Amino acid sequence: MPKLEQIQKKIEREGLDSFLFSSSANVFYMTYFRSSNAFVLLKPNDRFFITDARYYEGAKEKLKDWNVILLGSGEKRGIDHLREIINQYGGEKVGFEKEKVTLSFYERLQNKSAENPSDRLNAQLIGYEGFLNDIRLTKTESEIEIIRSAVKKIDNVFQKLIPKIPYLEKELDVRREIVNSIFEEGGTGESFPAIVASAEHSAIPHWETSDSQIKWNNLLLIDMGLVYKGYCSDFTRTLALGNVDKELEKIYHIVKEAHIEATNTVKTGIQIGEIDLAARRIIEKYGYGDYFVHSTGHGIGVEIHEEPRIYKTNEEPLLENTVFTIEPGIYIPGKGGVRIENIVVCRKNGAEVLTQTDLELRVIEK
């Protein structure tokens, strides 16, 4: 599994006896096992996968190198049994993902008001935010190959979609075709609800796909992604349906220029903010700086949004094998918007672009 020993060494460096992981993304990242109710209790020299009866047999079959524990066995209640497991195996200092659990979960797990001391959590809980962020930030070559496949599949979804668009009436009709094609390509689902934004809707960066009619002689923005082997892809293109307003054509070519400039800036060791600034300077040069209202990109992996954030104030160095999006945009309220998005890998001397769909403005005739 990716970097498990690296995680265990970090737990040891932090002076912890163990770490309780509860977020589905981090549990999957360490095990490649998908469960809606599972915990990982990781120690510097041991590992425990804890899940309920729905997943227990599957986990035992797949996770041969793990101690797999059935949560809630017999008359034991889930959280009471989890507390018992931590008391038995967790040690005195147990880290946890404080941004991923509710206050209610935290209080019930500790159970400080219990009259019987054996019903309380013995360990000291020590909260961390983003404990795995630095480890998940860069990808192994095997992870990159999975993401490459996910990207290729979403490229294929787009190519299949293009000839169907003249026959589709509503934004939701387009999304339905996207979802169908995702499964045809071997994806296990959308990495986020696809955005299909027609005409003035395209000026809202995260428009919620609706049953609105697709308007011709306007832009159509499509932002979509799929999940493959647990990893996400992300893809945006903006299409011209018929003859569009000249200013909309103009901003398309500005965004394309900004996208290329940002991509050409990518190199191991630069400040991450330089990528955003490269795109932003182009858009500002043409007078549309106020209409670029989001960051230039984000990391991607087992979650659709991961570190790093590609924004002008990020002074962290860009590390080799970081996988992220480049997606500048211009959005003119009430008129229309353009976004172009690729996924790239930072290599030593530049960007490896995983997305293979070209950047040219596609004009679709009815």
> Same domain for 152 and 265?
yes
> Same domain for 142 and 163?
yes
Checking if the pLDDT of 355 tops 80, the result is yes
> Same domain for 126 and 146?
no
Last residue of a domain, one of 112, 135, 158: 135
Q: How confident is the model at residue 76 (pLDDT cuts 50, 70, 90)?
A: confident
> Same domain for 102 and 198?
no
pLDDT digits (tens, 9 = 90+) for 303-341: 999 999 999 999 999 999 999 999 999 999 999 999 999
* Chain position carrying tokens 């769909």: 357
> Same domain for 22 and 167?
no
> Same domain for 154 and 97?
no
Q: Residue 84 class from Cβ within 10 Å (0-12 exposed, 13-18 middle, 19+ buried)?
A: middle
Checking if the pLDDT of 292 tops 60, the result is yes
Last residue of a domain, one of 80, 103, 135: 135
Q: Residue 204 class from Cβ within 10 Å (0-12 exposed, 13-18 middle, 19+ buried)?
A: middle
> Same domain for 213 and 261?
yes
| CATH number for the domain that contains residue 350 | 3.90.230.10
> Same domain for 106 and 130?
yes
Last residue of a domain, one of 96, 119, 135: 135
Structure confidence at residue 125 (pLDDT): 96
Average pLDDT value for residue range 91-110 = 95
Cα(243)–Cα(82) distance, integer angstroms: 61
> Same domain for 202 and 312?
yes
Structure confidence at residue 2 (pLDDT): 60
Q: How many CB atoms lie within 10 A of CB 39?
A: 22
> Same domain for 168 and 267?
yes
What angle (nearest 5°) sits at the alpha carbon of residue 13, between those of residues 71 and 133? 70
pLDDT digits (tens, 9 = 90+) for 42-68: 999 999 999 999 999 999 999 999 999
- Tally the domains of the chain: 2
* Nearest of 176, 220, 179, 173 to residue 201 by alpha carbon: 220
> Same domain for 149 and 55?
no
pLDDT digits (tens, 9 = 90+) for 15-47: 999 999 999 999 999 999 999 999 999 999 999
> Same domain for 142 and 102?
no
Q: What is the mean pLDDT of the chain?
A: 96
CB 278 within 8 A of CB 265: yes
Structure confidence at residue 215 (pLDDT): 98
Cα(220)–Cα(95) distance, integer angstroms: 47
Q: How confident is the model at residue 1 (pLDDT cuts 50, 70, 90)?
A: low
**What is the model's pTM?**
0.94
Residue 285 makes CB contacts below 8 A (sequence gap 6+) with: none
Q: Name the residue range of residue 189's domain.
A: 138-364
| CATH number for the domain that contains residue 13 | 3.40.350.10
